[in-house]
Amino acid sequence: MLNVYTRLVSGMLFPLHERLKQHTSVKVRKSLEATQWFLPEKIVRLQVERLRQLLIYANTHVPYYQSLFTCLNFQPVTLNTLSDLQRLPFLDKSTIRANLEALKSDQAHGLARFNTGGSNGEPLVFFIGRERVSHDVAAKWRATRWWGVDIGDPEIVVWGSPIELGTQDTVRVVRDRLFRSKLLPAFEMSDEKIVHFLETIRKFRPKMLFGYPSALSHIAKHADKTGIKMHDLGIQVAFVTSERLYDEQRQQISSTFGCRVANGYGGRDAGFIAHECPAGSMHITAEDVIVEVIDPQGNVLPYGEAGEIVVTHLASKDFPFIRYKTGDIGVLDDKLCECGRGLPLIKEIQGRSTDFIVAYDGTVMHGLALIYILRDMPQIKTFKIIQESLELTRVQIVTEAGLSQADIDQITAAFKARLGHGVTIEIEQVTAVPAEKSGKFRYVVSKVAAT
């Protein structure tokens, strides 16, 4: 009976709902389910064509890009390869703030206003058009179907601060529209509340869980501790997003709920960037998103090297995101996934919203300046840098065999060279780096052991 209901929602009610909202997500999802099997070269050709169309449109209808392209003497019709994109500057948060109106297409209607917490406490305001909403909804829908879960299947969502719950982000647009979707507020996690959550999940028997890895693993731990069985509910998959997923969290969630864990990467600003398939790879939504990885000087890095993730969203003509700097650190992979999809892969997301580090004299620098110091020391497996204040930076480090005094001196000296000699550097050797709750990534950077 459940399947009949899911088919009704997925095949009729949701499509009807989307049509009323003037969204094209049903059509887009069907198209994405075809293109995901294209050979990589064919996907690149599709990207180049869509990119050219986006830039031609921006040149005609988006004042910011009209004047930028004129200044650069850039002719969108001449774009032939993805690397031609490198002729354009990056779009960072301060540029968006300074050009909020000029970034809107003169043809845009029905733009939705969003905001996201900024690394320096200043929120970023931006706009998303219907086309982009449809594409982000469709991309998520495709990813859930990779795991045998469809819109209309019962789902438990563990999410959000009260502020986030009050806004209309794209994740919520997807989720709120799902019938049979139940929300558990992740910001209140007392033992009493968690027991209530566990009872709710048992009663609801979801096919899928969705939430922060920290929240889901926290709930799972509590179930184990109190002896509440959760593995027999028929949960198919736990979708996690918004934070780095640690191996021990993956194991905890998987063993307690008796399901697999699927990692997702994206944001309200940057879109639905990548999602894990059942074969274990993070596939980029390449039909809609071009991902570049850059070093602190803005040079594009080859596959396998860690740098800041920069995205171009190809369905963003109402408010273009072209070479948008996410502030996240990741590594691209040139391998093909054994699942057979031609969509390119992100190997690791090393840090999320890595933000900026502020030196003692007030100089703002990218978190990579410090990440690179630790990344290049092979004895270090994982680390976390927490800038507590301008005077104090703490570094938590996980190693196989411990650090020597010479290692500690080397790290301290390198950090002081960048942050200033008046700064105290505290180095702590730990067995694991604890996860952060979402929204507390300020001055926190971390690294994953290369796999």
The least distance separating Zn ion from the CB of residue 264, rounded to whole angstroms, comes to 14
Residues 102-141 as x/- pattern, contact with Zn ion by CB under 5 A: ----------------------------------------
The least distance separating Zn ion from the CB of residue 342, rounded to whole angstroms, comes to 10
In the region spanning residues 263 to 282, those forming contacts with Zn ion, defined by CB under 5 A, are: 277, 279, 281
Token pair of 364 as six digits: 């703002």
CA–CA dist 336, 32 (Å, integer): 18
User: For 42-129, where are the E strands, in sequence order?
Assistant: 112-116, 124-128
Residues 6+ positions from 203 with CB-CB distance below 8 Å: none
Query: Per CB under 5 A, does 43 bind Zn ion?
Result: no
Closer residue to Zn ion (CB): 183 or 339 = 339
Closer residue to Zn ion (CB): 18 or 287 = 287
Nearest to 32 by CA among 271, 284, 320: 284
SS3 state of residue 5: helix
Query: Per CB under 5 A, does 339 bind Zn ion?
Result: yes
The least distance separating Zn ion from the CB of residue 239, rounded to whole angstroms, comes to 15
The least distance separating Zn ion from the CB of residue 143, rounded to whole angstroms, comes to 11
The least distance separating Zn ion from the CB of residue 47, rounded to whole angstroms, comes to 18
In the region spanning residues 281 to 320, those forming contacts with Zn ion, defined by CB under 5 A, are: 281
In the region spanning residues 171 to 230, those forming contacts with Zn ion, defined by CB under 5 A, are: none
Residues 6+ positions from 69 with CB-CB distance below 8 Å: 55, 58, 59, 75, 76
Neighbours of 348 (CB within 10 A): 18
Residues 319-338 as x/- pattern, contact with Zn ion by CB under 5 A: ------------------x-
Identity of the amino acid at 346: I
DSSP state of 83: G
Residues near Zn ion (CB under 5 A), total: 5
Closer residue to Zn ion (CB): 25 or 281 = 281
CA–CA dist 153, 1 (Å, integer): 12
Residues 223-262 as x/- pattern, contact with Zn ion by CB under 5 A: ----------------------------------------
Q: Which string of b and e fits 96-119 if b means at least 16 CB within 10 Å?
A: beebbeebbbeebeebbebebbbb
Query: Per CB under 5 A, does 398 bind Zn ion?
Result: no
Q: Which residues make up the interface to Zn ion (CB under 5 A)? A: 277, 279, 281, 337, 339
